[in-house]
Amino acid sequence: MKQRVSALLREKFNCDVILEKPKDRSFGHFATPIAFSLAKELRKSPMAIAEEIAASFNEHEMFGAVESVKGYINFRLSESFLDEYASWALSHGEQFGSSDKKGSILLEFVSANPTGPLHIGHARGAVYGDTMLRLGRHLGYDITAEYYVNDAGNQIDLLGVSLQLEGRSSLLGESVEWPEKYYRGEYLSDLAKEVVELFGAEALRDESRQKELALWAKDKILALIVDDLKAINIEFDTFVSEASLYDEWDRVMAKMGEGVYVNEGKTFIRSSELGDDHDRVVVREDGRPTYLAGDIIYHNQKFERGFEDYINIWGADHHGYIARVKAAITYLGYDASKLEVLLSQMVSLLKDGEPFKMSKRAGTVILMSDVVEEIGSDALRFMFASKKCDTALEFDIEELKRQDSSNPIYYIQYAHARIQTLIAKSEKRMDEIMAAHLHGLSSDADGLLFEALLLPEIIDDAFESRQAQKLPDYLKVLAGRLHKFYYDTRIIGSEDEAALLKLLLVVALSIKTGLSLLGIQAKDRM
């Protein structure tokens, strides 16, 4: 819709014209302050210029009115245009707002270590990533959702030891020393029980079996993570195992050429020449690779697979890591600017004002699955999707358990359900409704229709600007307008019943489509 108007103006002025939606809808649907910027070069007052421009549009069929006010030019779309557009939207169903953008994108997110269940911080990145995935796909991009599994290195060794310690302490009743950084948590004692059943109790004491147990456990834990994600409607296309990549090591090192060097028995990457603070070790003196090494081969593999763009969603605590990975990509001979790293900031959780602490090692973590159990997947997803991801976030569980207008997800669902009830109650047949024409709309009805038809622009904007929260914000506003309209306007039995229902169908369509892009299913009844 906006694109159509925008294109028209571009043609007329031969340049891109800023088009905005006036806060006060009595000004029209769109407005532009272009007269202000033209004032200087034309040596005329903005008002005079606006007058002239407005007059030149007066006969255009797309507009019902074009007026100039205090230098702004306000456009009001014609009813026939809106009606036509509404019919077009309804005929497209949930494809409304889709597009035919081209491009393949590899989207990597979550990638939590398979050493414990997901906690609430992971959930934020997961929801954000999945929302971007759904938005991007709706727009036509070919996106692969990938989970990188850190199943090599230290944390796997730690997992094996932790598992044995946990088993010996909780099952065999031994008193054991818990070193600070080892993993703790309920999931470990469950796993230890399984170990005893499958391998016998002696497996918990045999140090030589630590590795074997660790590898067994990480598969179990990964399966747990996958289940957790499924519970909030997130599924990945591919999982890439870090351990499986190391066969490529020599080839990748050779590929980096001068980008790496050996000093005092250690292998370094020359990342300081590409914006990093200093060069980083990739292979230790004893030959064990560092964490960075895994990421280097992984990103090499990503680029060899030949996507057009790459998006990584990382926790904010990894931001210092971006420079070195980009340096590696450059040394591997690829364009590092194709990798876009989006950071999701920390989450803290409140309950009655009391802050919860999150520490993976301490065993007092807030598990995502616990929160989902409390408030449900929909509320969790809506919550995280509504906040832009570069602000540290605090939220209170209790607020999200409410089932009234203070909880936006209920507010929106209720709007959708109200429409479905009206459709069911009406005697009008669907074909009558679809054939109805929208004309003589009140300003409330017009505002509601216009809002509902904005969905495509919102989707595009939310994805391209990587600001997922624009969609939830939009849905809140749309639902609010619907509720008000419902309150003010009698629909069943009115003269315009069919037309009004058509209008409401468009609203329902936008809500349903919008929610599905948030991984939430619209409800017909509540």
Q: Report the site for RNA in 139-198 (rule: CB under 7 A).
A: 150, 153-155
Helix axes 443-452, 497-517, angle to 10 degrees: 30
The footprint of RNA on residues 246-275 (CB under 7 A) is 264, 266
Tell which one of 337, 442, 465, 521 touches RNA (CB under 7 A).
465
Q: Tell me if 482 sits within 8 A of 416, measured CB to CB.
A: no
Tell which one of 1, 9, 66, 74 touches RNA (CB under 7 A).
74
* Residue nearer to RNA on the CB measure, 20 or 94: 20
Q: Does 65 bind RNA (CB under 7 A)?
A: no
Question: What minimum distance in Å lies between the beta carbon of 490 and RNA?
Answer: 2
Q: Does 387 bind RNA (CB under 7 A)?
A: yes
Question: What minimum distance in Å lies between the beta carbon of 212 and RNA?
Answer: 19
The footprint of RNA on residues 26-55 (CB under 7 A) is 27-28, 31, 33, 36-37, 40
* Residue nearer to RNA on the CB measure, 306 or 493: 493
Q: Does 406 bind RNA (CB under 7 A)?
A: yes
Tell which one of 410, 436, 445, 455 touches RNA (CB under 7 A).
410
- Please identify which residue in the block is written with the tokens 């070195």: 324
Number of residues that bind RNA (CB under 7 A): 86
* Residue nearer to RNA on the CB measure, 204 or 454: 454
* Residue nearer to RNA on the CB measure, 203 or 292: 292
Handedness of CA 521, 522, 525, 526 (dihedral sign): positive
In SS3 terms, 146-191 reads as: EEEECCCCHHHHHHHHHHHHHHHHHCCCCCCCCCCCCCCCHHHHHH
Question: What minimum distance in Å lies between the beta carbon of 298 and RNA?
Answer: 12
The footprint of RNA on residues 420-449 (CB under 7 A) is 420-422, 425
Strand partners, 311: 107, 340
3-state DSSP assignment of residue 206: coil
The footprint of RNA on residues 197-226 (CB under 7 A) is none
Q: How far apart are CA 317 and CA 302, in angstroms?
A: 23
Tell which one of 417, 449, 511, 520 touches RNA (CB under 7 A).
417
Query: Which amino acid makes up residue 46?
Result: P
Q: Comparing C-alpha atoms, which of 102, 99, 233, 219 is closest to residue 160?
A: 219
3-state DSSP assignment of residue 257: helix
The vertex-403 CA angle with 401 and 407, nearest 5°, equals 75
Tell which one of 318, 401, 429, 439 touches RNA (CB under 7 A).
318
Residues in Cβ contact with 103 at an 8 Å cutoff, skipping those fewer than 6 apart: 141, 142, 308, 309
The footprint of RNA on residues 487-526 (CB under 7 A) is 487-494, 525-526
* Contact mark string toward RNA, 353..372, x via CB under 7 A: --------------------
Question: What minimum distance in Å lies between the beta carbon of 273 and RNA?
Answer: 16
* Residue nearer to RNA on the CB measure, 86 or 417: 417
3-state DSSP assignment of residue 137: helix
Question: What minimum distance in Å lies between the beta carbon of 151 and RNA?
Answer: 8
* Residue nearer to RNA on the CB measure, 56 or 359: 359
- C-alpha dihedral (324, 328, 333, 337), degrees to nearest 10: -30
Question: What minimum distance in Å lies between the beta carbon of 356 and RNA?
Answer: 13
Q: Which stretch binds RNA (CB under 7 A): 102-110, 132-140, 296-304, 415-423?
A: 415-423
Q: Which long-range contacts (CB under 8 A, 24 or more apart) does 255-261 make?
A: 255/300, 255/332, 255/333, 256/296, 256/328, 256/331, 256/332, 257/331, 258/331, 259/327, 259/328, 259/330, 259/331, 259/332, 260/331
Tell which one of 392, 430, 439, 440 touches RNA (CB under 7 A).
392
Q: Is 73 exposed, middle or buried (0-12, 13-18, 19+ CB in 10 A)?
A: buried
* Residue nearer to RNA on the CB measure, 61 or 404: 404
Strand partners, 437: none
Q: How far apart are CA 387 and CA 351, in angstroms?
A: 19
* Contact mark string toward RNA, 319..348, x via CB under 7 A: xxx---------------------x-xx--
